[in-house]
Amino acid sequence: MVPLFYGVGAVLAGTGVPRLEERLVPELLSPISAESAIAIFSSVAAGMMSLTAIVFSLVFVMAQFSAITYSPRLALALSRDPVLFHGIGIFTATFIYALVALAWVNRANTGKVPFLTTAMVLLLLMASVMVLARLVQRLSLLRITNVLSFVGHMGRETTDKMFPPIAADARLQEPAADLELPPIRYTLRHAGVPRVIESLDVATLAGEACRAGALIEMVEGVGETLISGAALLHVRGGASSLSERTLRKAVRLGPERTFEQDPRYALRVLVDIAIKGLSPAINDPTTAVQALDYIEDLISHIGKRQLVDGHARDPSGILRLIYPAPTWEDFVHLAFDEIRFYGSSSVQVMRRMRALLRDLLPQLPVERQAPVQAQLARVEQTVVRAFPAIEDLQDAQGEDRHGLGRSRPKEKQAVGA
């Protein structure tokens, strides 16, 4: 839609500006000859086609490179960069405007070249060159540090949007007690090709349930994939009927997961990058250590927030919506289990994980330290199994935020224990 709006705007400008110019300031003419103006406009129009092809090539390179090198789940996020679509739009607008403007050069064999029309072509050309430079600069996003920073930033933004800070007197999320739910009145099912739940409009779903005096139970949560015929939600109790169209609109589906309401997705991508670096084909544990830096930042940020309990109530306190929500244990397992498994033979990764978990413990509320302590114990067990030689075992049992490069003194490690 973005390039389409640019194209429509170019057509309107190309037909409107010369007419206004001819009516309001007919004496304002460009000093260049009609032949030169025609050559310039034609060259600009032809050149824009080449620049547009370059933009599409950049999109392809970014998507392909990120999918192969980092994670296939990262390709969509990078290819949705708004700079790409606005770049295509600017090039399209310049191409269309230059073509339309040609009709006003030497119109009726007068030899006149409208000044504002010519200036608009040159301004659009300069804008296109600047956008092209910006697009080339965007290729720096493919550097590993920038990719990790981008994913970590998106994860922090989603966390801040989804989870409020922990208040001083607030209770942390606890597993929901078993509730006596009304009987299922009907089930809404997904129809069509497989789709992922990208986001939920909690307010709309709870409001619709309140209007009907019912309870809506989401069978799957954000980030889950639905196949044809799979249950999307149950409507329990209530006397009035609910609008199926409204319910379906409140559950946005798409081809794959997004960062919008899914803080686990950012962790998933960071873990993907780490374990791909640990694969035998790549064998780059330093990339895994870099990914652990951003995983530590994100998991620490999540640990200091009040996680949702998956319930929504109406103003009178009646439960109206139940939806799956991740627990703190889910986040911890997602962040560390696979890296611990695939990096078990890497001294560098094990040392970084030990330092990470030791440093993470004092940053968390006491109620959230148990899963991290359990994860640290599993790292210890993994190290003992993976390194039978005593010298290697001693190296792997060290703590180093660089993986290998700056070991902590033994007394500090003992204090951290």
Q: Residue 169's pLDDT is what?
A: 62
H/E element, 248: helix 244-250
CA distance 284 to 300: 25
pLDDT tier at 85, thresholds 50, 70, 90: confident
Reduced to 3 states (helix: H, G, I; strand: E, B; else coil), residue 259 is coil
More confidently predicted of 75 and 132: 132
Reduced to 3 states (helix: H, G, I; strand: E, B; else coil), residue 48 is helix
Q: For the residues 287-300, what does the mean pLDDT come to? A: 94
- Short-list 329, 333, 331, 351, CA closest to 413: 351
What is the CB neighbour count within 10 angstroms for residue 389? Answer: 9
What is the CB neighbour count within 10 angstroms for residue 58? Answer: 20
Q: For the residues 260-275, what does the mean pLDDT come to? A: 91
Q: Residue 193's pLDDT is what?
A: 93
- Short-list 191, 167, 45, 33, CA closest to 106: 33
Label residue 323 exposed, middle or buried (CB < 10 Å: 0-12, 13-18, 19+). Answer: buried
Label residue 108 exposed, middle or buried (CB < 10 Å: 0-12, 13-18, 19+). Answer: exposed
What is the CB neighbour count within 10 angstroms for residue 260? Answer: 16
Across 37-41, 59-63, 314-318, 347-351, least confident range: 59-63
Residue 46 has pLDDT above 90, yes or no: no
H/E element, 123: helix 115-138
The mean predicted confidence, pLDDT, of the chain is: 85
Residue 177 has pLDDT above 70, yes or no: no
What is the CB neighbour count within 10 angstroms for residue 80? Answer: 12
- Short-list 27, 17, 7, CA closest to 104: 17
Residue 72 has pLDDT above 70, yes or no: no
Sheet holding 225-226, edge to edge: 225-226, 195-200, 251-254
DSSP secondary structure of 18-32: HHHHHHH-TT-B-SS
- Short-list 319, 315, 308, CA closest to 215: 319
Across 82-86, 122-126, 368-372, least confident range: 82-86
Label residue 174 exposed, middle or buried (CB < 10 Å: 0-12, 13-18, 19+). Answer: exposed
What is the CB neighbour count within 10 angstroms for residue 19? Answer: 11
Q: For the residues 283-295, what does the mean pLDDT come to? A: 92
Please state the pTM of the whole predicted model: 0.76
Residue written as tokens 């110019």?
21
Residue 8 has pLDDT above 50, yes or no: yes
Q: Residue 170's pLDDT is what?
A: 62
CA distance 13 to 313: 51
Q: Residue 21's pLDDT is what?
A: 80
Residue 64 has pLDDT above 90, yes or no: no
* Helix ranges (DSSP H) in 139-236: 144-162, 202-212
Asked if 408 and 400 count as a contact pair (C-beta separation under 8 A), the reply is: yes
Residue 413 has pLDDT above 70, yes or no: no
pLDDT tier at 409, thresholds 50, 70, 90: low
